[in-house]
Amino acid sequence: MMLSISILGAVGVAAGAVVFLGLPVVDNLLFGPDIHVSQMTALFCGASLVFTALSISFSYHVLAPLGKTNLIAVATTLGAAVGVPLILILAHSSGAAGAALAGASAEAVVCVVEAVAVVRILRSTLPLGPWRITHA
């Protein structure tokens, strides 16, 4: 379980770095000469990939197998509740970079909600070790 989360997290970081570093370089090939992807937009798109990779791993490797689909639904709903208004506001005020920031923010909400649930589950189920905190 932890290995799966670690691997998918590393893949998310690698993919995010490729998007951050590569998208502004190849934007002309992808979108034509009239559209330029700023480094800020690429950064937020890359961050979205990292959050998405982690939340997918939390969902598929921990929460769903334990029957905690309600937590997945809550996290997704909270992400949408944050993301939809932010996209409407930030895309209007800041264009593509604002929309990308809003999307990354929504993915971050989902990731954090699921991460908190996963840590609580692991602390309560794993034997003493790095995940288990005991109080004197």
Residue 129 has pLDDT above 60, yes or no: no
Asked if 23 contacts 37 with a C-beta cutoff of 8 angstroms, the reply is yes
Interatomic CA distance for residues 83 and 131, integer angstroms: 31
pLDDT digits (tens, 9 = 90+) for 4-37: 888 888 999 999 999 999 998 999 899 899 989 9
pTM over 0.75: yes
Kindly state the DSSP code that residue 127 receives in the 8-state scheme: P
Domain ranges of the chain: 2-125
pLDDT the model gives residue 46: 95
Interatomic CA distance for residues 113 and 136, integer angstroms: 28
Residue 47 has pLDDT above 50, yes or no: yes
Residues 6+ apart with CB under 8 A from 47: 16, 104, 107, 108
Residue 128 has pLDDT above 70, yes or no: no
Q: Which residue has the higher pLDDT, 132 or 47?
A: 47
pLDDT digits (tens, 9 = 90+) for 70-106: 999 999 999 999 999 999 999 999 999 999 999 999 9
Torsion of CA 123, 127, 132, 134, to 10 degrees: 120
Compute the chain's Rg from CA coordinates. 17
Q: How confident is the model at residue 136 (pLDDT cuts 50, 70, 90)?
A: very low
CA 97 to chain centre: 17
Q: How confident is the model at residue 3 (pLDDT cuts 50, 70, 90)?
A: confident
